[in-house]
Structure 1
Amino acid sequence: MDSIVANNCTIHFNNTCYTSVNKHIKERNFSKIFILVDENTHQFCLPSFIEKLETDSVIEIIEIESGEINKTIDTCVGVWNTLSELNADRKSLLINIGGGVITDLGGFVACTFKRGIAYVNVPTTLLSMVDASVGGKTGVDLGHLKNQIGVISNPDLVLIDTQFLNTLPQNQMRSGLAEMLKHGLISNEGYWNKFQNLEKLTLNDLDTLIHESVMIKKHVVTVDPFENELRKTLNFGHTLGHAIESYFLSNTNKNTLLHGEAIVVGMILACYISTELVGFPKQLTADIKRLFIDYYGKVTIDESEYAPIMDLLKYDKKNNHGNINFVLLEAIGKPKIDCLVDDAIIINAFKYYAS
């Protein structure tokens, strides 16, 4: 697969990853190399990655605990302290090997340590390959509120080796697939139609689809790097999806949802709202709901939980001037940004999902 250049960052695929990173390390002559992992990528991904590195530089491994619950400033402080203790300087390189938590947090750590050191992202989950790999968003959560603190800054390189997908459990694969489904809904019907038989997708299919998803997101972030207009469309399903994810994360009596699992619910809700407000075909909403629930199952959300979930909408990053702004669909491939939605319609969307 051809490499992709997006806003001064080159995204490489499979075998090209290693020739590119080795060339980059040699040319830049980094003083030290640090690799950030969690306990899972330390065990399943790091050995094969290091085996392919060609360098005489000192390599230090920094491990953090996995999971969204650890995507915090406190974790950053731990990594910053470790970098300092290991004598990292401004000519050091940080390589982040993991899912979105690792690449978002590791990117933020690199951008802020000594006012910025070089970093490379190696996404190892399907979600991080098609989402966190493009666009330069870095950051952490603020309590249970998603991605409230961060900066936009691109890594030197992104290395997408789809062999790492063989290490993933099925629920993580489904979570990543949700972002690809979103890319289909907001971009074009042709791409969307490739996902109509989700159970039959193979890893070979995914290689091509991942490349296409990255191209879709690359186009969006190139046109609108700082989320003023077009980039907002990438938040389809995320306004309510993030609120649901945050609510489940903050309630000990609920099972934590993976990002993609929450976004699937958010997309069904957004399709219903789109039908009510901007003319998205009712039958398409029903078809999308059936496809998603058949593949992902249904999340139980009681009516008593609608209000506290909706209360979390005020923290959405797209809000301005006190308005909660939704991304809706007029048709597949025709998103509409900055839509205002009455609470009554949101409640009806929840009821439609539950029905």
Structure 2
Amino acid sequence: MTQHLNVIQANNYPIYFNENGYEGLNLYLKENNYSKLFIIVDTHTNEYCLPVFLPYLETNVTIEIIEFEAGEANKNIETCVQIWKVLTDLGGDRKTLVINLGGGVVTDLGGFVASTFKRGVDFIHVPTTLLSMVDASVGGKNGVDLGNLKNQIGVINVPKMVLIDTQYLATVPQNEMRSGLAEMLKHGLIYDKPYWEQFLDLKAIDFADFDALIYRSVEIKNEIVTQDPTEKNIRKALNFGHTLGHAIESYFLENESKTTLLHGEAIAVGMILESYISLDKKLISLAEYSQIKTTLKAIYDDIVFEDKDIEPILELLIHDKKNEYGTIQFALIQGIGSIKINQLVENELILEAFEDYKS
């Protein structure tokens, strides 16, 4: 039994949950006269999610499926060029609607493809992983990686709607679920202490209530983004754990000798490191830091960092999109549930944080 969850109103678009979403989608298709409907999927979602999604669609408009190889390694401009060509060959025009059915790679890339094709056609996100539900689907960030630098090329442009249906989570492997959980934990740490506390004992979580936890996570992200759509201010709070986390993720992605990390696995490490920095700057207490470190380490496997890894990770920080005027800006937590943005952090302190993580 899925709970009835109300529509969340984001900046100029609705976020629907479960069954409501398909009603909203079909009504929207009826009211808007699209010439063609393109559904962008990757190899996974084509197999597991598309067969669930298609029967819900009520439309006479021609539907075309565009599939690309799954994985972060394909979230690049080459893939976009191929999709733009297919859209063109199949007669895509200004009145085309793109539906992105998949995880963060599909929604990020599909949103970017739609935002740039013919100077922008309408698109809808149907996120199918926990990570994309609580993170990629909210806030209008679309884009691709440039080499191993994450999300270097992109636009902020909102979809016509987002449809979150938790039945797709049945197809998501356990490690991917944990990856998505990292963003939910982050939302609690930066904005909502009682929400964070619900995760302190994962064994006690009733997964029948999980829809409500996802809902609250989306609500938190939306509240932050609505206040600051273009990331001049409070939206930077969402970067907690990501400044170091993205650098770690990029380093493990490009390094042959390392096992590629899932986004949430890298962000979990980033949150521990950046919590240590928050502790050092006296923004959180030792008890708060211990609670964060213990909780995250209980959920995520330890990542092994050798001494030779740290320097290249620090190099990668320079490319972080949140940098301004060449200085690296961190969003740190100021007590659990609150954030302090634009914090400058010295390299020595970052090295200390790595040492503490290893201990």
Cα shift at 1:201: 3.0
Shift of residue 147 of structure 1? 0.5
* Alpha-carbon distance between aligned partners in 2 of 1:123 and 1:56, rounded to the nearest angstrom: 24
Where in structure 2 are the equivalents of 1:51-90 lying within 5 Å?
A: 51-90=55-94
**TM alignment of 1:1-355, pairs within 5 A:** 1-355=5-359
Residue 202 of structure 1, CA deviation = 4.0
For the 8 Å contact 1:278–1:329, the answer to whether it is kept is no
Normalising by structure 2, what TM-score?
Answer: 0.98
Within 2, Cα distance between the matches of 1:241 and 1:279?
A: 20
Q: Secondary structure at the match of 2:27?
A: helix
> How many Å separate the matches in 2 of 1:327 and 1:38?
33
- Opposite residue 190 of structure 2, the aligned amino acid is I
Q: Compare 261-270 and 320-329 and name the one that shifted more.
A: 320-329
Deviates more, 1:270-279 or 1:236-245: 270-279
Check conservation: 1:236, 1:326, Cα contact below 8 A. yes
Amino acid at match of 2:193: E
Q: Structure 1, residues 112-142: CA drift from partner, whole Å, max 9, x if none?
A: 0000101000000000000011100000001
Q: How big is the shift at 1:56?
A: 1.0
Task: Kindly indicate whether the alpha-carbon contact (under 8 Å) linking 2:198 and 2:205 is maintained by their aligned counterparts in 1.
Answer: no
Task: State the alpha-carbon separation in 1 of the partners of residues 166 and 240 from structure 2.
Answer: 26
SS of residue matched to 1:252: coil
Give how far 1:247 is off: 0.1
8 A contact 2:13–2:161 mirrored in 1: yes
* 2-structure distance, mates of 1:187, 1:312: 28
Equivalents in 2 of 1:199, 1:40: separation in Å? 29
Amino acid at match of 2:142: T
In structure 2, C-alpha distance between the alignment counterparts of 1:248 and 1:222, rounded to whole Å: 33
Task: Write the deviation string for residues 73-128 of structure 1: whole angstroms up to 9, x where unpaired.
Answer: 00000100000000100001100000000000000000000001010000000000
Query: For residues 39 and 284 of structure 1, what CA distance do their matches in structure 2 show?
Result: 42
Take 1:287 and 1:218, find their aligned partners in 2: how far apart are those partners? 26
C-alpha distance in 2, partners of 1:270/1:334?
14
What is the CA–CA distance in structure 2 between the aligned matches of 1:104 and 1:234, rounded to whole Å?
A: 17
Q: Which moved more, 1:132-141 or 1:280-289?
A: 280-289
Structure 1 regions of 5+ residues with no counterpart?
A: none
Identity of aligned residues (%): 56
In structure 2, the residue corresponding to 1:339 is in which secondary structure? Answer: strand
User: 1:236: Cα distance to partner?
Assistant: 0.2
How far apart, CA to CA, are the structure 1 residues paired with 2:308 and 2:323? 25
Alignment partners' CA distance in 1, 2:318 and 2:205: 37
Is the partner of 1:317 in helix, strand or coil? coil
Structure 2 counterpart of 1:331, one-letter code: G
* CA displacement, residues 284-305 of structure 1 (integer Å, 9 cap, x when unaligned): 2122111111111101111111
Tell me how far apart the structure 2 counterparts of residues 138 and 345 of structure 1 sit (CA, whole Å). Answer: 32
Partners of 1:279 and 1:38 in 2: how far apart? 42
Q: Is the 8 A contact 1:278 1:328 kept in 2?
A: no
The unaligned stretches of length 5 or more in structure 2 are none
Please provide the CA RMSD for this pair: 0.8
Per mean C-alpha deviation after superposition, the further-off stretch among 286-295 and 245-254 is 286-295
SS at match of 2:177: helix
Tell me the distance in 2 between the aligned counterparts of 1:199 and 1:308.
37
Secondary structure class of the residue paired with 2:257: coil
